[in-house]
Amino acid sequence: MGPTASGKTDLAIALRGHLNGEIISVDSALVYRGMDIGTAKPTAEELAKAPHRLINIREPNEPYSAADFCRDAKHEIEAILALNKTPILVGGTMMYFKSLLEGLSDMPVANSNIRNAIEQEAKQFGWPHIHKLLQEVDPISAAKIHPNHSQRLSRALEVCRISGKPFSSFQNRLSGGLLEKYDWYQIAISPRDRHCLHERIELRFDQMLTNGLLEEVAALMTRKELHKDLPAIRAVGYRQVWEHLEGLYDRREMRDKGIAATRQLAKRQLTWLRSWQGAQWLFTQQENGNFMTVEELTQIALKIIAKRAI
């Protein structure tokens, strides 16, 4: 686990060979086909060397929830174990990790009509308006969800409208978690210095632009079924480029907004991890600030795992 641009993929690929493992992606953006550059999806060469399960399994207009992930991840874990191999879960979508380990509440299944109606309301009046609607029926959930966190707002209000009960009333009734079923080794990877992480994010976003992120988003914009209010298109980087191509702001402002949104994502990921129970931290920098090689990080990770196994 770790914030964006922390080096999770490289470490997971390296560990795969040492642990006789197979990799399962834990990333809400990597599930989408045609969204490769802006999601920092492993390259074709990397995937040929180390296939990742749960990548490229949805079109960008198809919803994919934490419940969907848990169902799919459980299937993949069992399939890998049946091969006498080690499942290696890697990603930065902390809600997916939490749901898989601790379980999900018995909430109503998604209702596409209600969800689409909420999306249309948001398109017309904005997500802060949806936040106000949620506040009226479930002030507890509204207090915990940021007015611009569209996916969580949409799901919370959808559950309220389907069930007639507050979304918050379901959240303390968790079941189906795998924390006690398997022996988990949880590693949180990150640079020591937040400034260094910010620099890595900036460099990576510039590299995405160089690699063709604008062209990738332009191709998505040609598809009639896609629009910028879809959860997939609201992924960091994509929304900013989409709005730039619509003419809402110039390239420089798009770049600044994309980097700022990515840094905010990393901040949220680190907030999750700081309170995570059972995670062993693996810092990618030495005390003097120099970054370690993948080989050095791999050896430290293997020592963490060996120590836990004693």
Q: What pLDDT shows up at residue 229?
A: 87
153 contacts: CB under 8 Å, gap ≥ 6 = 122, 127, 130, 131, 134, 145, 147
Residue holding tokens 């160089």?
210
Taking only the tens place, the pLDDT of each residue in 73-98 is 999 999 999 999 999 999 999 999 99
Taking only the tens place, the pLDDT of each residue in 241-265 is 999 999 999 999 999 999 999 999 9
Share of the chain above pLDDT 70, in %: 99
Taking only the tens place, the pLDDT of each residue in 259-292 is 999 999 999 999 999 999 999 999 999 888 889 9
State the pTM of this model. 0.84
* Average of per-residue pLDDT across 40-51: 95
- DSSP per-residue letters across 109-134: PP-HHHHHHHHHHHHHH-HHHHHHHH
Beta 86-90 vs 21-25: how paired, if at all? parallel
Domains, the chain: 8-106+176-309 (3.40.50.300), 112-172 (1.10.20.140)
